[in-house]
């Protein structure tokens, strides 16, 4: 295949490993995989966008208005994606070593009983 794909076992399985790793609801991950929603991969200069925010096609087209000279500075560095390729990018952004250390540290903290 010339493009990344999301295997149904990792997407739709119970639990959904992809949704867990991305810390996103399965419903949102499915919207991305099935080309129903774009996902913000990098918000850039856009104050109205956040990382992993879902955008409908209409919302994304509104951002890409033809008045390029006026809107270009507002959206410098904005990256969005769709499909399994976007999921691959989100998964590649995860720092497993850092997350592992943070989780291990959290597990080692004593629990307080009230």
Write the pLDDT tens digit of every residue in 6-50. Answer: 767 677 778 888 888 888 999 999 999 889 999 999 888 777 888
More confident residue, 104 or 69: 104
pLDDT class for 79, splitting at 50, 70, 90?
A: confident
CA dihedral sign of residues 32, 37, 38, 39: negative
Q: What number is the average pLDDT over the span 50-66? A: 82
CA dihedral sign of residues 33, 87, 22, 62: negative
Distance between CA atoms of residues 8 and 99, nearest Å: 25
**Cβ atoms within 10 Å of 12's Cβ, excluding its own:** 15
pLDDT at 101: 85
Write the pLDDT tens digit of every residue in 62-78. Answer: 776 655 555 555 567 78
Distance between CA atoms of residues 9 and 64, nearest Å: 35
């Amino acid at each position: 295949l010339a493009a990344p794909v999301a295997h149904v076992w990792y997407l739709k399985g119970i639990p959904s490993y992809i949704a867990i790793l991305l810390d996103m609801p399965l419903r949102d991950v499915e919207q991305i995989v099935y080309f129903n929603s774009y996902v913000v991969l990098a918000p850039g200069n856009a104050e109205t966008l956040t990382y992993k925010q879902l955008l409908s096609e209409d919302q994304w087209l509104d951002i890409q208005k033809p008045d390029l000279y006026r809107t270009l500075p507002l959206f410098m560095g904005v990256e969005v994606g769709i499909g399994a390729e976007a999921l691959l990018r989100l998964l590649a952004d995860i720092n497993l070593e850092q997350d592992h250390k943070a989780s291990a540290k959290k597990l080692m903290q004593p629990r307080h009983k009230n």
